Amino acid sequence: MGFTPEQESIVESFIGANDIPGAAVAIVRGDQIIAEGGFGIADVAKEAPATEHTIWPICSITKSFTGVSAMQLVESGKLRLDEPVQTYLPGFRVKDEAASRRMTTRLLLRHNSGMGRTGHQDRTREEAVNPYPTRETLVNALDSAELQSAPGEAFSYCNEGFATVGHTIETVAGVPLEEYFKSKILDPVGMSDTSIDFMDWKNGADRTYAYSKGDAGPFDSGERHGEYIVVRLNDDYQTFLSTGGIVSSVHDLALYQIASMAYEDSPLGLTAGSLDHMQDVQFPFGDTGWGYGLGYWVFWSGSTKVIGHSGGLPGISTYSMMIPSEKTGVVVFTNRGDRRAFFLAEELMNTVRGQVWRDSTSEPLPYETRYPTPSADDLSEYAGRYEFRAGIADVEAGDGGVVITTPSRLDGPPVSIVTTQVGPDSFMSRDQGMSIPFVRDDSGRVVRFLNGGYSYERV
């Protein structure tokens, strides 16, 4: 079928408005890819166009592959999600040894272990030589990690936790994670463009580059393609393969979406119950019914469940969005960071099946809460200045929630996050429905909030 003129206009407007060199998009309906292709440029220096087979780091879309692998091992009786991680990895521990014994694979898969981002992945990204050359060395290094909250208490995005699950999978399966992904997912689904090694992307003939403008900080490679900074991404990303290391094309991700929504006979070899379990809320965001599954964000459009996952590295923004009950999906890859491919995926989904949530992505998402609307006095205890690794964030009382002004976590400009309070100390962003909890100390004082896995400490 190909893209409609409306869809082409939406993509071209998005990449133009956001100064993105190139994008690739695929749309799934039923068990078919109904449209796929590239827009703009994947390699600015060579003026090479993006195509449906151009290779991109898919970043955190990888997390659902880890969830699939875990559920495959659950179905084979080799893994139990609620068994302590130490049952499978006796050497696993964080600084709090009692908390270590309480951590399970399920808590890690739903970003609810209490660790959040421990700083280990940041070192891997920013240092020339990977300080944790294997997943085992990373797991052993977590004994220095301090918890942001008690296990099971708060949502905090944790790549180190997913890397730990990756090591659990290869330990239980008895084969390297790379081999497991290839033999149990990539080959059965027919994902011939896809690889588990960043070097296959970097050496590929049809590949994108990661681009930035302005200041790319420690990710500036020193190379320039026209007016764009070429972002430096590590050669060795194998330690964090299970959290964001797969490289692929939109064509292959569309095939993966089809397999993920095939409840009767999925090439992934999972029963409908296991697929649904992954794609259902495992950690709720307040009382909204929205939350996180096992490698998926879970939203609702009325009574229709929408699942998906973002992916972001400096210079890259990706999104995979699906409506399983309608067997409809959209895959979006772009080669600029902090450009929220989620919004483009949503706009395209609207053209395929009708409006998902809103007339414009500038409007708030229509999640609902019965939590009492907080007053300015209620919100005053959260207001103040908070520090994290990229600088100072300011929190102010807003209308029904707090407003957070913070430096970008990657390579973009400062952002303003408008939230709604959806539970005790629990807030959600109105633009993308992300969870932002506040944490108290033993005296009851608010001492930090958690955003994107980072701990913002009150100053």
Checking if the pLDDT of 411 tops 70, the result is no
Distance of alpha carbon 157 from the chain centroid: 8
What span, in angstroms and rounded, lies between the C-alpha atoms of 194 and 421? 40
User: Measured between alpha carbons, how far is 315 from 247 in angstroms, rounded to an integer?
Assistant: 14
Instruction: Write the CB contacts of 151 (distance below 8 Å, at least 6 apart in sequence).
Output: 99, 102, 103, 107, 112, 113, 114
Residues 6+ apart with CB under 8 A from 272: 263, 264
List all residues 6 or more positions away from 224 whose beta carbon is below 8 Å from its beta carbon: 230
**Residue 178 has what pLDDT?**
98
Starting at the earlier edge strand, list the strands of the sheet with 228-231. 211-212, 228-231, 220-225
Mean pLDDT calculated for residue range 138-155: 96
* Coil, strand or helix at 434: coil
Nearest to 26 by CA among 1, 60, 63: 1
| CA distances to 251, 358, 381, 449 from 399, in Å | 42, 20, 15, 19
Reduced 3-state DSSP string for 260-324 = HCCCCCCCCCCCHHHHHHHCCCCEECCCCCCEECCCCEEEEECCEEEEEEEEEECCEEEEEEEEH
Count of CB atoms situated within 10 Å of the CB of 414: 11
Give the whole-number percent of the chain exceeding pLDDT 90: 93
Q: pLDDT tens digit string along 1-44?
A: 799 999 999 999 999 999 999 999 999 999 999 999 999 999 99
CATH no. of 1-365: 3.40.710.10
Long-range CB contact pairs, 320-323, < 8 A, 24+: 320/58, 320/61, 320/64, 320/253, 320/257, 320/345, 321/345, 321/346, 321/349, 322/28, 322/257, 322/260, 322/261, 323/349, 323/353, 323/356
Q: Which residue has the tokens 């483009």?
A: 344
Paired with 421 in beta bridges are: 427
User: In the block, which residue shows the tokens 């052993």?
Assistant: 140
> What is the per-residue pLDDT across 292-337, written as a single tens digit (0 to 9) for each?
999 999 999 999 999 999 999 999 999 999 999 999 999 999 999 8
State residue 323's pLDDT score.
98
How high is the pLDDT of residue 134? 95
The amino acid that residue 279 corresponds to is Q
Which residues share a beta bridge with 392? 387
Six-digit token string for 312? 């972001």
pLDDT of residue 395: 98
- Residue type for 296, please? Y
CB 216 within 8 A of CB 254: no
Which residue from 296, 332, 297, 298 is spatially nearest to 317, judged by alpha carbons? 332
Eight-class DSSP state of 203: T
Provide the residue ranges of all domains of the chain, joining segments of one domain with +: 1-365, 376-458
Identify any residues that bridge with 403 across adjacent strands, giving them in sequence order.
396, 418
Looking at residue 408, what is its pLDDT? Answer: 81
In contact, 330 and 27? CB cutoff 8 Å: yes
Q: Which CATH architecture has domain 376-458?
A: Beta Barrel (2.40)
| Local structure of residue 302 (DSSP, 8 states) | T
Yes or no: say if 334 and 19 are a contact pair by the CB < 8 Å rule.
no
| Across 266-271, average pLDDT | 98
- 391: tokens are 């600088």
Task: Give exposure, 393-405, as e/b (b: 16+ Cβ within 10 Å).
Answer: bebebbebbbbbe
Tokens 């190139």 locate to 22
Q: Identify the bridge partners of residue 306 per DSSP, sorted by sequence position.
A: 299
N-term to C-term CA, the chain:
56
Amino acid occupying residue 251: H
Q: How many residues does the chain have?
A: 459
pLDDT in tens, 160-203: 999 999 999 999 999 999 999 999 999 999 999 999 999 999 99
Q: Which of 123, 93, 110 is nearest to 158 (CA)?
A: 110
pLDDT digits (tens, 9 = 90+) for 206-263: 999 999 998 888 899 999 999 999 999 989 999 999 999 999 999 999 999 999 999 9
Backbone angles phi, psi at 432, to 5 degrees: -125, 0
Q: Residue 271 to residues 48, 76, 261: CA-CA distances in angstroms?
A: 41, 11, 11
CA dihedral 130, 131, 134, 137 (to 10 degrees): -170
What's the pLDDT score for residue 339? 76
